[in-house]
Structure formats: structure tokens, C-alpha cells
Chains A and B, each alone.
Chain A
């Protein structure tokens, strides 16, 4: 793979014009990382505005043999959009138009740079929304959501991004443009839409996306429960699911997290409880009232200390703000955090949480847990000050152990943040050599050039390891 040369930059300028191809140190500095701790280096940053321009940029990359990395808003947490070895960064934020909305068939065509929350706002007057709601929804792009198959609190009932993508127009790394899937959901022949969703920029660049829109529920009830033990909270979650209900959201925060959040937003959260459970049910008024009654009963049998039901929209928004700003609140405790993202089978939740506390304790690191309890998606947040000597080593060692105990409990490496660079070398924990070879084969069927976001997700085969050194900041 080649580096960006002046002639690459010239060719890109011919396609996009000088002002949409940047090589200044500020831009290169800005785009050398995403929201993870991993830093790469960008060769050039460019800003295409149409499918045709993306295709021409990809062709320039192909002609010169230079790798390229698609980038949405750069909120990814696994280093997916981090350019390695001076790649071309293809920023899609200028392709930010909602192209069409079809309220009858409940779908919309959007450009990849449309922000998640902007789409829901654009269709709110039709009583619709885009269901995947990552906590970063104000700033992350639909293209990034597709590439990472992102989730959010409300994906428990509605499913993650893959359940909401009907079709994707993709510029393949060789410059061909294909449409995967169709408005009716099923395209004909092989359906490669599902393979593209979650491909972290390694299978081409999404330039138009047809998403499913979801009806806003007619009624919503948001409840907050608190418990003396994390275990009681976790068992409440299992019991709710076992009772045959599918709440819209089931989120949990542990004591340290609640304390941080309360100090930040003053919502009257119970700071002395071991765990707080946020439950939302949505649907027709009658059903919602019924679910609320049953859920409160279940929480009581699991020794919940207090029950708080949001009385109005303002209180509901406040409770959710507590959940969604948890990461910001952490900054008040220590300057740095490392957010993990594993999934365990629901029934293993209490045991794995126990292990997480034990691991953090042993390494002398603070850990907070704020997570999607309903689908077993843990987000242990290691909180630390990286200026303390030896701290980064401890953080990495603890993180590694947390991932391993999750996988050992029958879980997976990532629930929603993706693999990127961060967890690339842990993939063999989950997949055998034949599985990984098949994934690599699929990848090369999409990308015959090997230039689309190389070195991500798939561990390099033994022997070639040297050429794929992980950059500074990666923790494995």
C-alpha cells in the first residue's frame, strides 16, 4: 500500500476542487482519530458531496494504491474511522440530506452524513422516528450507524440498526456502484445488505441509505427503581423478560454511576442504592398501564427500595438525561475513562458484573456500570487519571480481563461499538480460523483492492503481524 503523494492530492483536487481537499496540519490532526484513545495518521482529508464524487475519490485511491477510510462524525469508540499509515480520509458529513420520506411505506432515503437525531426530527411531524438511538445520537451519522450496526436503549424492543436498513447504495472499493437490498426489504439474488451493515468501512462506502421509519408509540411510561444489590436489579430484568414483556428500554446504572450523574444533573436520584433500573414501556395507553403495574410488582418482589414513575414529559426527559449524559458526568470524578462494550447472555449478567467489580478492584481502578440490561449489553466504564504512573497498563490489563470473562460466559466482544482496531486481535476468542477466513473472503469479495479501511476488524494472519503494528493508544 502506498502513501499519499502530491499527485494523489492533485488528482483529488481535480475531482473535488481545492477547498474540499485538505492537507493542513490542523485538519490532518483533527481527523487522525475518532472518539477512541487510538491515534493514527491521515495523509489527506477530503469532503465529497455526491455519490459520483465518492466514486471518483475511490478511483483515485485505487489508481495510486493508497488506502482510504470512510468517516462519518468520528464518534466511533473502537478506532474504526482512525486512519492508519497516512490513509485518505473520506469525510461524509457534507452528504447530509434527507432525500425522500415515504410515510405510507414508512421509509426514507438519506445521505450517509445525516445525523441520527436530525432524521428523527425531520420525520417527527409524521409521527415517525428512526428507531436506533445511540447515546451519541445528536452527533453520530446514519452512515456510521450502518457501518457499526449501532444500537441504543430502545433497540431492546425495536432491534439494532440492521433491522432498520432496507437498502444501501454502496460505492465498492473498485469504483462500481451497487444497491444492496430494496425498498421492499428483499432484493433478489444474494442479499448482501446484511453483510454490509456492520462492515466498519471495509466493504465500501455507503452513499445513500434507505431506512425504515418507526411509528411513535401512542403512550409511554418511564419508571425508575432502585435496589440494595446489583443482583436484585439484574434478576428484576430477567423476571420482566421471562414474564413475556418486551419493554421499550431496560437500562441499569450502578451506585458510582448514579452518584456521578446526580452530582451533575440533580434529578433526585437515589445515590445510596447499589443499582438503579430505568424501565420504559411504550404502546397503547391501556397496555402501557397494564405493563407498568406488572413491572412494579416484579420489582417489588425483588426487593426494590423505591418506585418512581415519571409524572410528565419533563420528568421523563430528566430521567433519560441522567442515563444519556452518564459519560459526561464521569469527567467530574477522574479526567479519563475507557468504555467497554461486551454482551453476555442475560442470565449471566449478575455473575459477570460480580467479576467486573472484582477485576477492577484487583487492579485498583474505579469502575462504573451503565448499560443496556435488557439485552445483556454491558458497558463497564473504567475511570482513571492517565497521569498516574503505570495507570494505562492497569487499565489495559483490566479491560482485557473484562472482555475475556464476558466471552467465557458465552458472550461476545462487542455489542454495538464494533471491533475496529480496539478489539481486532481479540477476534480469535470468538471465531475459529475457518470463521475468520470466511469473513476475510467475504471482505475480499467486496473489496478486491484491499484499500478500504485496511487493518481493521480482521486480525492479520500469523506471520504478517509485523506490518500491522497497532498504533499508540490501542490497548491490546
Chain B
């Protein structure tokens, strides 16, 4: 039987969509350079049983399966491969149970991060991981890419909040990993293997996540620096002094210019960068003062700190508007995702500026300064082959730069297809071969998201 017949034999019609235009709309994520293959069909499961049925149909027809959350991925992880089933989890979007005594929540994978945050806030609880895409990305996608975000410096990444999973394997078996109690050392921990595995080991159909009490509103400090090394020193000082900022973001000059241009925010565009810091908790007021002092001591040209949360949020808004401000240029944008140890941050930023100059490309950078995770954004004319070539060259140089500084090349957006060719630079060959062995253990025929991640 054909793939479509196999699916129809097992699933109701409203779960299957074969119209090529509709299918194509679900066939790619937001990675710019990555061309998706042509998917055969879109399946929209309602529950775990539908996912199991899809696996059975795909196995029978020998078709690959590509799982899709909300398609906001930036590295082609959810892009179709030729002849595949796109398994879109968007209908499985329920918050199943909030347990306030144990501070956990059970969810389906299609629920959007923002919707989950609001649902648990009603119980006075907070789900910290917050990729900048939190209003539009799904928990399943966040888990599969181990997404990070602005809160990570204080709260950690998605991995730190995944307690247990229900996963459908390629074989169609449904397994449960992990735990629902706060602690457990029972058995081998499969949960961690699935987090960050980009849909190549199985389909997450349910997750139990850890929650924390809703944090008090933060105090905010902003500091302008005339040169990048000074900002780097201030960041180190803050951590050396033992502060634990709940947010620490850096916005470089090029970003300040563009945000100012579009939103007229009266920013100091002569500065090399702007550092945004927040602190929440009992000691927030004194902590934010002390951190502002660190910035001044290291030569910040202008430092301001505020206790009013609304005022503080206005400054964080500068950070959030970077992406939309560049989108106004109407050109192609490719966000990079690299991380280096904190003490190499200034070198990384300076190196990125040099790479932009060398390749004559617009290269603004924003990032999570607290954990050394930077997002340089390549902004260029996607219709001009020469500009595209220069962008690709700059992209490769940034990767090489991060590695040479002892960093990593995929801090939170994942590997997907985009960075696959760079992977061997970082992981020794024996390790890579062994990763393939793990993949083969769970998916012997290689039907799940083939060609991705490893």
C-alpha cells in the first residue's frame, strides 16, 4: 500500500492532509539557508495513539517521519526530507495537570511555552525556560532542542526542568522515562537522552515539567560601555563578586543603532555596547546597586539602576526589539548561536565585529552575556549571490572563532542540518561514531528525522 493508504487505514481523515500547498506550509522551519525536501503528507495527531498509528503506517510504507512542533527552529531541524510524513504536534496542546504541592505540570508537547507560563502562573508558579520565541514555540520543540533563553543565567535551560517524558519510539512502542517525584535514582535515565535529541530518537507525546515559585518582580540596571573589553571585565567582576543576576543581556552598537533608527528610543549609539542586568529576590535592590557599581568600576560610561519593574521592562524591551528592528530592513537574516566561557566574551564580540568588517556584512550581536551565549545576526541581501557567499563565509568564521576560544557552536538552537558539517570539529570521531550507535539503538532503520543533528 502507499503511504497515504497506510495512514488512512489507521487514522481518521481529519488527521491527514495531503494537499501539497498545505503540506509545504508545514515543511520547513525558520532556518534561512536550509532548503527543505518535499514532504509526502502532513499528519496532525490528536493523541499518543495517533502517533503510534502514524509510526506503524510509516514503517509499513518505509517512509521517514519528521516531527514538527511550532516550526520556529532556526537550524532546519523540523525541515521535511523527501517523501516524509510531517508529524505536526500542534493539536496536542493541552496542559493536563498542574500539581502545586509537588510543583510539577504535565503537558502535551504542542502547548506553546507562553501558554504554559500563563496556565501555571494562575497557581502562583513559574516555568522559567524562556527562548525569545516563547510566545510562538512549543514545549515539544523546546525539549527537542533543549532551548535556552534570557532566564537561563539564573534558572538553567529546558533540560533542568524536564522530569519525565512519554515517548513514542520508531518501533511504535510507548515508553515512559523519568519520574514524577522530585528525586529518583531508579534505573538508567533516558529522559536526558531525549532532551536535545531533535526528533531523531522518538516523538515526545507528553512531558512532566518542574516548576518554581513565581519570582518577585526584578530590579534593573543598564550600563553603556565605550569599549567591549570593559564590558567583559564588568561581567567577570559581577560573577566573581558572587552575584546571581536573574537576567544579563548584552546589545552591541550595531543593534543600538538599528533599534534607535526604527523605534527612536534615544539610545546612546556612540557606545560599544549596552549591558542589561536584572536581579530578583529579597536582596534585589542592594544587589542591583552592587552590580551597577561593578560596571562603573570597570569604566562604564553611563550607568542607571531602577527598582520600578515597569521602568526596568522598558530597558529589556530594547533587547527584545533587536530582531524586529532588523526585520524592517527587509533583507535576509541568519542568527548565529555560539557560546564561549565568560572570560572570553569580550574577545568573541571583538572578533565578530572584525569578521563583519572583513566580509563586508552587517553583523549585529545580541546575547545572553551571563552564560557567554551570543547571537550574532548576519543581515544581508538574500537575492544577491555575492552577499550570500560572503554571509556563508562569515558564518563559518564565527564558528571557527567560537571554537578557537574554547566555546561551543550550538548553545541553544541545536544542530539540525545547519551545523552538521561543523560537528566533527568539536567531537572526536570515536564519540561521533558512538552517538550514531545510540541513535541506531532506538531507531534501527533511521526513519526518524534522517540526516539531522548527528
Contacts and interface: CB of A to CB of B under 8 A. Distances in A.
A435 B102 CA distance: 24
A189 B186 contact: no
B187 A416 contact: no
Interface string B169-187: 1000111110111111111
Contacts of B182: 343, 346, 375-377
Contact of A445 (B419, B423, B438): B438
Given A184-B408, A188-B409, A419 B441 contact: no
Nearest to A433: B173
A189 B282 contact: no
B21 to A, nearest CB: 35
B435 A190 contact: yes
B85 interface: no
Interface in B321-343: 339-343
A283 B240 CA distance: 17
A305 interface: no
Nearest to A238: B101
A162 B435 CA distance: 20
A24 to B, nearest CB: 34
B454 interface: yes
Contacts of A155: 183
Given A188-B410, A412-B179, A127 B196 contact: no
Interface string A371-398: 0100111000000000000000000000
Contacts of B157: 185-186
Contacts of A114: none
Interface stretch (B34-42, B355-363, B424-432): B424-432
A430 B184 CA distance: 11
Contact of A287 (B283, B406, B430): B283
B427 A187 contact: yes
Contact of B282 (A103, A246, A283, A415): A283
A189 B454 contact: yes
A474 B286 CA distance: 56
Contact of A377 (B183, B191, B406, B410): B183
B186 A190 contact: no
Given A419-B187, A427-B186, A242 B101 contact: yes
A227 B423 CA distance: 58
A189 B438 CA distance: 11
Nearest to A412: B184
Contacts of A436: 187
A21 interface: no
A191 B437 contact: no
Contacts of B169: 434, 438
Contacts of B438: 190, 192, 442, 445
Interface stretch (A39-47, A87-95, A173-181, A272-280): A173-181
Nearest to B244: A215
A244 B214 contact: yes
Interface string B406-450: 111111100100010001001110111011011111100000000
B346 to A, nearest CB: 13
B434 A172 contact: yes
Contacts of B187: 419, 427, 430-431, 435-436, 439, 457-458
Interface in B88-103: 99-103
B224 to A, nearest CB: 24
A195 B432 contact: no
B407 A345 contact: no
A69 to B, nearest CB: 17
A347 B181 CA distance: 11
A436 B437 CA distance: 19
A415 B102 contact: no
Interface string B251-288: 00000000000000000000000000000011100110
A413 B438 CA distance: 26
Contacts of A423: 186
Given A215-B242, A434-B174, A442-B193, A457 B188 contact: yes
Among A127, A194, A215, A376: residue with most chain B CB under 10 A: A194
A187 B441 contact: no
Nearest to A442: B188
Interface residues of B, number: 82
A376 B179 CA distance: 13
A9 B447 CA distance: 46
Contact of B183 (A179, A242, A375): A375
Contact of B281 (A159, A242, A287): A287
Nearest to B124: A244
A189 B196 CA distance: 8
Nearest to B214: A244
A103 B410 CA distance: 24
Interface string A221-243: 00000000000000000100110
B179 A194 contact: no
Nearest to A435: B175
A191 B188 CA distance: 14
A323 interface: no
Contacts of B213: 244-246
Contacts of B99: 345
B431 A191 contact: no
A444 B442 CA distance: 11
B342 A105 contact: yes
Given A184-B341, A188-B410, A287-B282, A345 B101 contact: yes
A148 B201 CA distance: 25
Contacts of A441: 441-442
A242 B169 CA distance: 37
A376 B214 contact: no
Interface stretch (A196-204, A306-314, A329-337): A196-204
By Cβ-Cβ distance, the 8 closest A-B pairs, closest first, are A194-B192, A287-B282, A244-B213, A375-B182, A284-B283, A412-B184, A445-B441, A343-B181
Interface of A: 103-106, 127, 148-151, 155, 159-160, 162-163, 172, 176-179, 182-195, 197-199, 202-203, 215, 218, 238, 241-242, 244-246, 283-284, 286-287, 290, 343-347, 372, 375-377, 410-419, 423, 427, 430-432, 434-439, 441-445, 448, 457-458
Given A163-B156, A246-B212, A284-B283, 14 more contacts: A104-B236, A149-B185, A149-B189, A178-B430, A186-B157, A187-B408, A189-B453, A190-B193, A192-B435, A194-B193, A203-B188, A427-B186, A431-B186, A431-B187
7 contacts: A190-B201, A192-B435, A198-B185, A241-B101, A241-B103, A290-B282, A377-B183
